[in-house]
Structure 1
Amino acid sequence: MDFNLIDLMKEYGYIILFFWSILEGETGLIMAGLFVHTGDMVLAWAIITAGVGAFVGDQIYFYLGRFKKKYVIRKLSKQKSKIAYVKFLLRKYGWFVVFIQRYLYGLRTIIPLCLGLMNYSPKTFAIINFISALFWSSIIIVPVWYFGDKILSLIAIAKEHWYLAIPLIIVIIVSITVVVKYKQRKLIFKK
């Protein structure tokens, strides 16, 4: 049998979505929203599956921080400023940080790890994390499902006119290069 990613998603969509949501998420949610739009998945089940996957992923990080403190502290030794920032956010905003942590770029995995390190209440974390995970999966899957026709037509146009992406790729590469050079220069001047 010759399977590609689309065929695998159609056949094992919920299983793939669950594990994808544990690891990363947004790309899988977009795919799930499109599959809901085409009728290959059911909206409620896609939202629940992705939400439970995201919940499980964050719980793993939380308990890793809680029970493997030395290992996590060693791994996060270069992230001291982020850890301090998480502590500041938690003191200032409390439980709301748990709710929005999956939207905070660069802190998404560090927050559950830090909360585990800080002996945050497992019950409180689990409840807020579960609600947040379902909310997160809903706010991505539902719009993709609703605007599925427009998204699919844009994908078709992109496939047909792939060469238009070349200037965009060049801009992205140049931007990344400039940012990396800037950060390297900043580090040199700090020393």
Structure 2
Amino acid sequence: MSIETLIAQYGLAAIFLGAGLEGETAVVTGGVLAHQHLLPLWGTAAAAVGGSFAADQVFFLAGRRYRDTARVRKIAAKPAFAKALDTLERHPTIFILGFRFLYGLRTVSPIAIGTSHVPARTFLLLNAVAAAVWGVLFTGIGYLFGDTLLDAVHSIMPKHKLAGVAILAVVIAGVSGAIRFWRRRQSNTATSRKS
């Protein structure tokens, strides 16, 4: 089975899952694959929107349903959680529309919102709008800048464009993960110093 066949069969499902679990890297990669005509552009954007929307709804519902459990209380003890709640109290609509664009607050924010008094229907509507903007924006970035990204990959790996796209996605995900780890570590160090 060729890589093109695998992408055609499982690409949209991978983007749906990647949008919900990982974020921008998966969606931009989907845009690049759409640029290469390996995936349909609007299908890719819809998978990105759907994955982001579904994941944030699940996190919101988990915060709402399990707010008094030890697991959610442990998450609530993190500085990012307090920051999310503070911003939510001051600007609820703007925060719900924008949290997925704020680095370091993407996963914790819908849980924090779930523990708040924001009505489920309000979150559902604002989450749908924000997911649509986010999914289309990052798919569009991958699609519009696909040539530039692929040229960079082609200069490194001239005969293996698709493998290069996969390596590019892994590198971007690795750098993003390293930045998250470093920020989390800095936050934990700052919290330890305050104690």
Compute the TM-score of the two structures, normalised by the length of structure 1.
0.78
Q: Structure 2: give runs of 5+ residues left out of the alignment.
A: 159-163, 165-174
CA distance in 2, matches of 1:75, 1:66: 15
Q: 1:34 to 1:78 in 2, by over 3 A?
A: same
**SS where residue 68 of structure 2 aligns?**
helix
**CA apart distance, 1:84:** 2.5
Residue in 2 that maps onto 1:51: 49
Give distance in 1, aligned partners of 2:9 and 2:184: 41
Query: CA offsets, 1:65-117, max 9 Å, x none?
Result: 000112343331531x3332222211222211011111111211111101111
Match of 1:140 in 2: 138
Contact 2:76–2:82 (Cα < 8 Å) also in 1: no
1:118-159 C-alpha deviation (Å, 9 max, x unpaired):
131111111111111111111111122122222111111233
Which amino acid is the alignment partner of residue 109 of structure 2?
Answer: I
Residue of structure 1 equivalent to 2:168? none
Q: CA deviation at 1:190?
A: 4.3
Q: Counterpart in 2 of 1:101? A: 99
Look up the SS of the partner of 2:117 in the other structure. coil
Tell me the C-alpha RMSD between the 2 structures.
3.0
Indicate if the aligned counterparts of 2:20 and 2:55 stay in contact, CA closer than 8 A. yes
Q: Aligned partner of 2:106: which letter?
A: R
1:86 to 84, 87, 92: 84
Q: How many residues get paired?
A: 176
Alignment partner, residue 127 of structure 2? 129
- Whether the aligned pair in 2 keeps the contact of 1:66 and 1:119 (CA below 8 Å) is no
Q: How far apart are 1:11 and its partner, in Å?
A: 2.3
Match of 2:75 in 1: 76
| Structure 1 runs (4+) greater than 2 angstroms displaced | 6-11, 70-75, 81-84, 178-191
Residue 184 of structure 1: CA displacement?
8.0
Q: Which structure 1 residue ranges, 5 or more long, are not aligned?
A: 163-171
Q: Percent identity?
A: 26
Please identify the structure whose Cα radius of gyration is greater: 1
Q: Map 1:152-171 to 2 at 5 A.
A: 152-159=150-157
2:169: which partner in 1? none
